[in-house]
Amino acid sequence: MPVMNRRIIFKTVLAAVLASTIALPAAALDRRVTIVNDTNYTIMQFYGSNKGTDSWEEDILGRDVLRPGQSVRIDFDDGTGYCKFDFKAIFDDDDVLVARGINVCKIGTYTYN
């Protein structure tokens, strides 16, 4: 085999190996985020919806609440492959805070303060 062909094959194989080890599939990314309530109010409801939906879905806290100083670890992996989520927190004083475009694949903690 000519030297030029071997170089082309080597470069092709090397590129394939690098691509498979460097580029993580979206499904393999960690979407767990710790939500911290660093306010003086209780979070009564919390929603996290991926950027591909127009709905807030269900209250992630369910029957629980997130009191001042408490935190909860939430896995936002909903099977869609999305990394960007919108968060909505409803507090006991009826304040509603919405945060848009949070990249749950890149952050480990989100704090309300």
**What does the pLDDT look like over 17-69, one tens digit per residue?**
555 444 445 556 899 999 999 999 999 999 999 998 889 989 999 999 999 99
User: What gap in Å lies between CA 12 and CA 16, rounded to an integer?
Assistant: 6
Show the tokens assigned to 35.
């939500």
Q: 27-112: which CATH architecture? A: Sandwich (2.60)
Residue 59 is given by DSSP the state -
User: What gap in Å lies between CA 28 and CA 105, rounded to an integer?
Assistant: 10
pTM for the full model?
0.74
**Cα dihedral 14, 15, 17, 22 sign:** positive
Diameter over CA atoms, the chain: 76
